[in-house]
Structures are given as C-alpha cells and as structure tokens.
Amino acid sequence: MSEQPTAISEEDIHAYVDGALSSERREQVERAIELNPALAARVSDYFSLNNMFHERYDRVLNEPIPPRLRALENKRRAWGGANWPQFAALAATLVLGIGIGVGTGSYLPWANSSRVDTVAADTSETMAREAALAHVVYMPTVDRPSEIGKDREHDFVQYLSNKLGTDVHPPMLTKSGFQLMGGRILPGEDGPMAQFMYRDAKGERVTLCISQRKTSANTTAFKLYQDGPVSVFYWVDGAFGYAVSGGIDRKVMLELAHDVHAQLTETAPG
Amino acid sequence: MDIRNDLMEHVPRLRRYARALLTNRELADDLVQDTLERALSRSRTFESGTDLRAWLFTIMHNVFVNQVRKASARAVHVSVDDEAFGETQLAASGGQLHSLEVRDLDYALQRLPAEQREVVLLVGLEEMSYAEVANALSVPIGTVMSRLSRGRERLRSLMAGAQPGAKLKVVR
C-alpha cells in the first residue's frame, strides 16, 4: 500500500483548478481536498472565480463588433488616440498606484521638498487611492441602470441605509450645480465604502466616498491626493474617512469638499 | 500574407479579454484596435502555421504594458495643511471580512496589480495553458504561477468583501 499522504504544492492546487494535472496527480489532489475543508473552500472559490469571469465577460463575445474594428483598412488613425492619452493614461496610472502602494507603505522620497510634502502612506491614503480608483472605474458608468433619477433618490437612500444598517443621506451639492446621480457600496480595505456620484450640467463628474475607519481620530485638515488628472481631497472625521474625487479644477474641488464637510459637521450627532 | 480576415475571427475574444482587463468599453476597444493595427503592420513577422491567437495576445500584452509604462508618472500625496496629524496611528483593519452582498467583479479586478490581473484572466477567462501565458507575457512559468497564486488569492479576498453591517456615519 502506498497510501502515504502526498505533499500538495500551491502550484498543484492551481493546476488542479485549471485542469493541468495528470490524472494520477489529480487524484492525489482530490484526496487532499477531501481531507482538508479549508483547502476545499479555497479550491471551490477558485472555480467560482473562473465561472464568474465567464458569466461577466462572455457576453462581449456576442456583442456586434464596432465598425472601427471591422474597417481597419480605412484611414486607420482618423479616430485615433481620442481616449487613450487622457483616460487610459489615467487608468493605467491608477492601476500602478494601487499595485505599488497598497500594503507596502511606499511613497516617493524623490518627491520630497519643502513645497511638496509627501505623506507616508497610511490607511487614509489608501482610502484616497481607493476613492480615485473607484472614481475612474465608475465615472463612465454613471448612465448605467445603477443611476437613479431624482424621483428615485429616496428609494436609493433607503437602499443604502438598508445595506449599511444606518441612515445615510448624501450631501447635496446642487448649489454648486452638481446633482446626485447614484451610488454604490464597494468593498474597501477597512470595510464597506459608500460611493456617491454627482454630475453637473456640463457632464463633469465628481464622487464622494465615505468609509468607516477602524480607529477613531480627531478631525483632520483636508489633504490632497493627486493622481494624474484626478484630484482627491480627503479627510478624517472621527471614525469616518471622506474623499471627494474629480477631474475638474482643484479650486472647485476644494469648494465642494468644504461644502461636503460643512454639511456633515452641521448635522453630525454629538 | 494577408492575415486580415484571419484576424477578424479573433476580435471577439480579444475584446472579451480587453474588457475584463480594463472594464471600460471604449478603452478596451482602443486596446483591441491598437493591437490589430500593430498586428497588421507586422504581419510579415507572423509565421504562418503557428498560433495566430497566441501571437495576437502577445501583441496585446505589449501594447497594454506600453500604455501602463507611459502613464507611470506616479501619484503624489500632498499635504494641504501643514498641521498634519498622526494618521499613522490609524491602524489597518483587523481583517473582519465577511461576505458582501454587492460583489463587483470589475472593481475587484481593477484593484489587482496589472501583471496579476493579466495572468488571472488569461488562465481563468481565456483558458490558456501556463506555457501559453508564459509565452505571451515573455516571463518564466514560475512567474506565471506566482502571479496566478497571488492574484487569485487577492481576488478571492476582495470578492469576499466586507460586512455590510458596519456602521457608516449618519449623514443628514
């Protein structure tokens, strides 16, 4: 009998999920999974992830191919680069920022000067980065069904309150010309993060993110996180962190941040 | 050789992958278009009889990486007020993560480092073998495995999300 337990490596686990094992090895992994509920849960999650990819993105296969991809022979650069230089650079920058920054506490020593103080990465900066990323990811989707009409604002606030188990009323920025368009709950590093999206008549978009913090702190000054064209003003007030993100003029952004802050402190309990 | 017609067969899958990679539809199609243009301009370097799909994914990877690199001007945190506060005492979460109702795959994917996102999607969505992925990305298989392992585990914890019961500040 050679029924001795076989060491299962991390690579074996993934190769099992991806169907890349020999049948013999596969059986060994299956036996290990049967004996180890935690491993079984992990493998099951990995399978689920692969399924979710297909559920989410396979629909692209059935979309009609846009004309610009079908007609490459025609003046190929006529449309070109309209989006990439601005938006893609932005998205890519943020991707890099997230990849490098989160969890490593990294910051940019060469950016240190008397004028520009880099602040050591910490959890509130993580929030600023998350807010900037969420801004970029969802900025183009404001017109999707997640959007709420004015008349549905009440329903939406109710929905958010139910999700979070507490009353949430987003500040109104109408005096600055921004209407609340929608919002969603996102998983943040520190727990759920509520994101509210606003838009003005010109189509400019700003987002407000509110997240709960593990450790309470006194109210802080505004800080600015700049990521390419996206500015994020963020601050901490007690157990909550706030971030206002947008690609518009910083002065306007700062005014909006002040407006948000004022509305929050005016009515804060206690 | 004219690979134009053959290219078109692969467009749907290139679009699917690009969409998962970038989320934004216009950006994803820009990436596909840049990929196709580069493929056409270099069609002479394609060896007929080899795997056209693998070749296209290699090109797409290179285009993508160039975009990321061009945009590598890093973000800077600027202290607006000199009276900076001791934020460092704000400890990170104690890992009280539970299942979250609102699960958002797009968002979770965007939070993976680009290199991990590529591998996780090429394997999980495009169902490429590890060797094909290593080839497309020009990295050793061991690197593919470690990116896959880290990427999947991070994605798993991101999708596990956070407990919605946590209280947010009452904002009236």
State the smallest CA–CA distance between residue B140 and chain A in angstroms: 14
Residues B58 and B108 in one domain: no
- The minimal CB distance from B87 to the residues A56, A122, A192 is found for A122
User: Does pLDDT of A166 surpass 80?
Assistant: no
Residues A50 and A90 in one domain: no
State the smallest CA–CA distance between residue A236 and chain B in angstroms: 9
Whether A60 contacts B27, CB under 8 Å: no
3-state secondary structure A5-47: CCCCCHHHHHHHHCCCCCHHHHHHHHHHHHHCHHHHHHHHHHH
- What is the number of helices (H) and of strands (E) in chain B? 7, 1
Q: Given CA atoms A58, A137, A172, A252 in this order, what sign does their dihedral have? A: negative
How many structural domains are present in chain B?
A: 2
- The reply to whether B131 touches chain A by the CB within 8 Å rule is no
User: Does pLDDT of B122 surpass 90?
Assistant: yes
Which regions of chain B does DSSP assign to beta strands (E)? 76-78
Q: What is the ipTM of this complex?
A: 0.76
Domain boundary, last residue among B52, B70, B88: B70
Residues B106 and B64 in one domain: no
Instruction: Assess if residue B85 is contained within a domain.
Output: no
Closest by Cα among A236, A235, A232 to A246: A232
Residues A131 and A170 in one domain: yes
Closest by Cα among B4, B30, B29 to B16: B29
- Side by side, the strands of the sheet bearing A179-188 are A179-188, A191-199, A205-217, A230-246, A223-227, B76-78
Range of the domain at B19: 4-70
The pTM of the full predicted model, rounded to 2 decimals, is: 0.55
Whether B116 contacts B147, CB under 8 Å: yes
- Model confidence over B131-170: pLDDT tens digits? 999 999 999 999 999 999 999 999 988 887 633 333 333 3
Residues A251 and A118 in one domain: yes
Closest by Cα among B8, B25, B14, B117 to B65: B117
Whether B33 contacts A71, CB under 8 Å: no
pLDDT band at A157 (very low <50, low <70, confident <90, very high): low
Instruction: Assess if residue A127 is contained within a domain.
Output: yes
Mean pLDDT of chain A: 70
From residue A187, how far is each of A134, A192, A230, B155 by CA, in Å?
10, 5, 21, 12
**Is there a contact between B29 and A54 if contact means CB atoms under 8 Å apart?**
no
What one-character-per-residue DSSP string does A74-103 give?
S-TTTTTTSSIIIIIHHHHHHHHHHHHHTT
Range of the domain at A42: 10-59
CATH of the domain at B148: 1.10.10.10
Q: What is the pLDDT of residue A159?
A: 63
CATH of the domain at B42: 1.10.1740.10
How many structural domains are present in chain A?
A: 2
Q: What is the pLDDT of residue A104?
A: 31
- Model confidence over B83-113: pLDDT tens digits? 332 322 222 232 222 233 234 788 889 889 9
Instruction: Assess if residue B87 is contained within a domain.
Output: no
Query: Rounded to an integer, what distance in angstroms lies between the CA atom of residue B136 and that of residue B122?
Result: 9
**Is there a contact between A93 and B74 if contact means CB atoms under 8 Å apart?**
yes
Whether B121 contacts B17, CB under 8 Å: yes
Distance of CA A209 to the CA centre of its chain: 10
Query: Rounded to an integer, what distance in angstroms lies between the CA atom of residue B151 and that of residue B140?
Result: 16
Averaged pLDDT for residues A138-159: 54
